[in-house]
Amino acid sequence: MSMTAVCKVVEIPPDGGLRVEMPGRPAVAVFIADGAFYVIDDLCTHGDASLADGMIEDMEVICPYHMGSFDLRTGAAVKAPCSIPIKSYATEARDGVLYALIQPA
């Protein structure tokens, strides 16, 4: 499996997320936290919410609808009502572009 270009690094807001539509698969959410890049599936597993609209706190993204949270590094559901993990993807930044190890749909 190869790395897929997700976005330009400069497009990622330093204090929030970026929702990126991916061809042939659901959107992903992209974040910068503690100087590292994170790519996770965008749709909350608890409800119909875009995690890119969530806030980052202590390496967790907080769902904007129900205030549950997921670990940015692993996708683990951390706080209720979220209980089903989301997918997280390995990332690499090269030449101003963020890549992620995302399987095609």
Give the pLDDT confidence of 12-50 residue by residue, as tens digits: 998 889 999 988 889 999 999 999 999 999 999 988 899
Q: Quick check: is 105 in a domain?
A: no
Residue 91 belongs to a domain with what CATH number?
A: 2.102.10.10
Q: What are phi and psi of 48, to 5 degrees?
A: -85, 75
Q: Which residue pairs, CB below 8 angstroms and at least 24 apart, start in 26-30?
A: 26/105, 27/52, 28/89, 28/100, 28/102, 29/54, 29/61, 30/6, 30/98
- Domain count along the chain: 1
The per-residue pLDDT for 105 is: 59
Average pLDDT, the chain: 93
* Predicted TM-score (pTM) of this structure: 0.93
Residue-number span of the structural domain to which 71 is assigned: 4-100
Q: Which residue has the tokens 């907080």?
A: 62
pLDDT of residue 104: 62
